[in-house]
Amino acid sequence: MASIFDVQGFGALSEWNGQFSSASAKQALQKIASLGSNSVELTARIWTQTGTSNAVFAEPTKTESDASLLVGFRAAHDAGLSVLFKAALSTLNGTRISNLAPTDVAAFFTSYQVEIVHLATIAQSAGVEMFAIGNEMSSLSGEQYRGYWTDLIAAVRQVYLGELTYAAATDEALHVSFWDQLDTIGVNTYPPLTASNAPTVQDLVNAWTSVPFNPYYAAAFDYKSPVDFLHSLATRYDKPLLMTEVGYRSIDGTAIAPGSWTSSGTVDVMEQADAYNAFFQVWSARGGSWLKGAELWQWDLNNQYSSTGYSVMGKPAEAVVSQYFHGDGAVPNLTASGSAIADIIDLGRGNDDINAGLGDDVICGGAGDDTIVGGPGAGGRLAVKTVTLIGYGSVVGGIGAQVQILVNGKPVSGLLEFKPAVDSSGYQTFTVSFENPDAITSIDISLANATPGRALHIKDFLINGVAVTPADSVNASSPGTFDLYVRNIHVDASNHQDWFLGASTDNDVIDGGAGNDVITGGICDDIVDGGDGIDTATFTGSVRDYDIAIADGQIVVHDRIAGRDGSDHLANLEFLRFADGAIDAGDLFASLAGRSGSTLQVLATDGAGKITGQVIRHADGSADLYTFAVAGGALISSSPVDSAQSSEQPRPDAAHHLPCLLASPSGEAAARFAFHYHGSPVGRVEAAGVTLTPTDASDILSGTGRDTFVFSETVRHGMTDDFKASESIRHGVSQIESSIAADAAHLHSHLAGHDVVISAGHEASAMPAGVAFPTPDHLLFI
């Protein structure tokens, strides 16, 4: 089965002691597995009397016994499911657990730790894969309580060897003080997505990637979209993130307050299905390597459900979940752009188009056939800058909030008018471009028509793709927010020139993931791993511009042209594509096998990406030239390249294969030979100043200027094509040995079509093609 997440399943809550070990629970676990789940989150309750109590205990009728826990764990494993065991504290008097305020905090945590360590011991004995040490204890998870939690975690690790997490409430996750001590960040994920009772699927998809309309949740998400906020948590702590709960009730308006058990609403099973459809579209495409997965809330272990409850059992949403959990759901293809500075772009399963821009980026393409560009092909500061504002405003007298963008105190935009919105689907977006001043000291968003009752609410403020946050700005009107009632939002840009000019480096780390990817590193030095599939790395220049080596099992490609592709380290790439053709990476490994410290320069390839000519330079300064057959790739010849930058030319083989390339030790091609269709080798000089001697066949040689063509008795008939007879010091020279003729007087010439044939009166002749008879300056007798 092709799972869409590493962890995908349902949450199940024990309502009474013995429920985990019941026959209905076993049946429920098998049904959960049949929907494509690979995990189940089993939640058992422990208790405290009130919100201010200091004792935590197992209530005999409400808390699962050790024996029932073990039976439940075994049933889950028998169904093929991994287990996340979550301990959830509840109050007997109904106080919300997020509002706990024990009178003696130390005594409370001592009692709580005893219960948690006991449950961890049971989990270890049953081989439970992950254990959650708490659930939504928002009032006690902040920095002032960190010491209690670190002690508890240390004690749990003494008895439990599996992964540890904590299930934070949606609005708690930003402030949990002990994420660094856990293996996985857990978030019960219920962001409000709409204000509508009838949103479209696309409205819900867009809301996941927009800063929440609700100011409380905008702040709880650090003024980021839900997707970006969760990703930022995983990045900040370098931990995978698991949605320990996410779900929707089957009611009208279910996405208005997804986490509410008590909100009223009429039955609407299709809206629940739409919410799940949007969820899977977003997270299958955007849930990269950082997202561990999701446990959907919830599945009733009695195999019963409420018509307005969270369960998808027997509702249209069940088919949506099953389709995606089996890997058959539609995954959108994304176009993702980076900013002017370093970014982390980590996507999911679509066929994505990623352009990261400048900066030392970390890029993960995920599954799918991705096209990834790590950075531009050349450096230099950004000439044109863009500022993007996303938000809404209030209307007074029929006019919305009008704002102007100022750079260094000078306007760079006209008036931008923001109109009202009721949720993120109504946000407006304005993008302003301007030419960069030499230095930018400030940028301001100025409310031009401030008046009582009018306000501007900025939800996203981007400079060349860099997200500016309220912490980066000064807003006297509403400190710590982007809500503007009077004056302006001011950003001191003195220490942020890279936002405007772009980062000075672009050393990227790129992982293509599964799929057939095409990856371009761009300027500077990149580390590229193609991942699974047939992957291609692309480069700007011709293949001869690059030196290639093998180091620690990786291909190292160094661009000899400064300021272009740099030195890239490649792994799991099947092809390297240059401006003039592609190379099979397998040939590179074969060519450099056993040659530690050697570098390879490719001189020629055939149309199938096979190398037909190469120079290998060794650490001691010597070099070898290799020529391979066009058909079949068999080695025809190898020869050392001497200090005079010449190499003996082999004869064509019986199969009429390409016989040789002449190259200098620096790797530059000097001449290229191909078998002539009349049976004679054809040679073409690639660099000026080369000496070529034809064989005893009827050879055709071609030069670029300042080349010498040697004719002797063994040469017989030779033809010098493109003979440079009229380019002063760049002219070619036909070197004629004295055994043929002592001087020009002993030569005879006659026209053959448009060519001149130089004859010594016997079988030997030389033909400078397409030119008038050469002058004595073009003939050398030795």
Which pLDDT tens digit goes with each residue over 700-709? Answer: 455 544 455 4
The full DSSP string for 99-112 is G---SSHHHHHHHH
* pLDDT: which is higher, 36 or 381: 36
Residue 740: strand, helix, or coil: coil
Going by pLDDT thresholds of 50, 70 and 90, the confidence category of residue 62 is: very high
Going by pLDDT thresholds of 50, 70 and 90, the confidence category of residue 424 is: very high
Spatial CB neighbours of 466, under 8 Å, sequence gap ≥ 6: 339, 340, 341, 499
pLDDT score of 185 more than 80:
yes
Burial 183-203 (b: 16+ CB within 10 A, else e): ebbbbbbbbbbbbbeebeeeb
**Total residues belonging to the chain:** 782
pLDDT score of 739 more than 90:
no
Query: How many Cβ atoms sit within 10 Å of the Cβ of residue 752?
Result: 11
Amino acid in the structure at residue 191: P
> Contact at 8 Å (CB) between 210 and 154?
no
pLDDT at 642: 46
Going by pLDDT thresholds of 50, 70 and 90, the confidence category of residue 741 is: low
The edge-to-edge listing of strands for the beta sheet with 661-663 is 661-663, 669-675, 681-685, 699-702, 717-721, 765-768, 755-759, 748-752
pLDDT at 2: 73
pLDDT at 557: 97
pLDDT at 718: 52
Q: Which of 635, 644, 680 has its CA nearest to residue 662?
A: 644
Going by pLDDT thresholds of 50, 70 and 90, the confidence category of residue 646 is: very low
Which pLDDT tens digit goes with each residue over 93-109? Answer: 999 999 999 999 999 99
Query: How many Cβ atoms sit within 10 Å of the Cβ of residue 383?
Result: 9
Mean pLDDT of 58-80: 99
Going by pLDDT thresholds of 50, 70 and 90, the confidence category of residue 592 is: confident
Q: Average pLDDT over the chain, rounded to whole?
A: 86
Assign 3-class secondary structure to 523-582: CCCCEEECCCCCCEEECCCCHHHEEEEEECCEEEEEECCCCCCCEEEEECCCEEEECCEE
pLDDT score of 218 more than 50:
yes
Strand 7-13 vs strand 527-529: parallel, antiparallel, or unpaired? Answer: unpaired
pLDDT at 745: 54
Burial 681-708 (b: 16+ CB within 10 A, else e): bbbbbbbeebbbbbbebbbbbbbbbbbb
> Contact at 8 Å (CB) between 699 and 724?
no
Mean pLDDT of 504-522: 97
pLDDT score of 164 more than 90:
yes
Task: Please give the share of the chain, as a percent, with pLDDT higher than 70.
Answer: 80
pLDDT at 610: 81
Longest CA–CA separation in the chain, Å: 122
pLDDT score of 757 more than 50:
no
Burial 559-579 (b: 16+ CB within 10 A, else e): beeeebbbbbbbbbbbbbbbe
Task: Please give the share of the chain, as a percent, with pLDDT higher than 90.
Answer: 71
Which pLDDT tens digit goes with each residue over 112-136? Answer: 999 999 999 999 999 999 999 999 9
Mean pLDDT of 491-507: 94
> Contact at 8 Å (CB) between 659 and 652?
yes
Which pLDDT tens digit goes with each residue over 613-643? Answer: 888 888 877 787 777 765 455 555 555 554 4
pLDDT at 697: 44
pLDDT at 728: 40
Q: For residue 402, say if its preceding peptide bond is cis, omega within 30 degrees of 0.
A: no
- d(CA 166, CA 186) in angstroms, rounded, equals 5
Mean pLDDT of 519-540: 97
Strand 755-759 vs strand 691-692: parallel, antiparallel, or unpaired? Answer: unpaired
Q: Is 434 exposed, middle or buried (0-12, 13-18, 19+ CB in 10 A)?
A: middle
- d(CA 486, CA 488) in angstroms, rounded, equals 6
pLDDT at 612: 80
Q: Which of 583, 586, 593 has its CA nearest to residue 572?
A: 586
Going by pLDDT thresholds of 50, 70 and 90, the confidence category of residue 247 is: very high
Going by pLDDT thresholds of 50, 70 and 90, the confidence category of residue 690 is: very low
Q: Tokens 């790797």 label which residue?
A: 667
Mean pLDDT of 367-375: 97
The full DSSP string for 330-379 is -----EEE--SS--EEE--SS--EEE--SSS-EEE--SS--EEE-S-SS-
> Contact at 8 Å (CB) between 713 and 740?
yes
The full DSSP string for 130-178 is EEEEEE--GGG-SGGGHHHHHHHHHHHHTT--SEEEEEE-TTTGGG-S-
Going by pLDDT thresholds of 50, 70 and 90, the confidence category of residue 691 is: low
pLDDT at 742: 53
Burial 83-95 (b: 16+ CB within 10 A, else e): bbbbbbbbbeeeb
Which domains are present in the chain?
7-325 (3.20.20.80), 384-501 (2.60.60.40), 676-782 (no CATH)
321 backbone dihedrals φ, ψ, rounded to 5°: -60, -45
Q: How many CA atoms lie within 13 A of 334 on its CB side?
A: 29
pLDDT at 380: 79
Strand 755-759 vs strand 765-768: parallel, antiparallel, or unpaired? Answer: antiparallel
Mean pLDDT of 581-592: 89
pLDDT at 662: 44
Spatial CB neighbours of 558, under 8 Å, sequence gap ≥ 6: 546, 547, 548, 549, 566, 567, 599
First to last CA, the chain: 79
pLDDT at 781: 41
> Contact at 8 Å (CB) between 299 and 10?
yes
Beta bridge partners of 372: 354, 519
> Contact at 8 Å (CB) between 483 and 477?
yes
> Contact at 8 Å (CB) between 403 and 389?
yes
Going by pLDDT thresholds of 50, 70 and 90, the confidence category of residue 740 is: low
Residue 478: strand, helix, or coil: coil
CA distances from 620 to 302, 351, 599 (A): 77, 46, 11
pLDDT score of 335 more than 50:
yes
pLDDT at 723: 45
- d(CA 642, CA 538) in angstroms, rounded, equals 33
Which pLDDT tens digit goes with each residue over 136-154? Answer: 999 999 999 999 999 999 9
Mean pLDDT of 389-393: 98
pLDDT at 712: 54
Mean pLDDT of 303-315: 95
- d(CA 649, CA 671) in angstroms, rounded, equals 10
Query: How many Cβ atoms sit within 10 Å of the Cβ of residue 154?
Result: 11
pLDDT at 747: 53
Least confident span in 462-471, 511-520, 698-707: 698-707
- d(CA 270, CA 31) in angstroms, rounded, equals 22
> Contact at 8 Å (CB) between 615 and 663?
yes
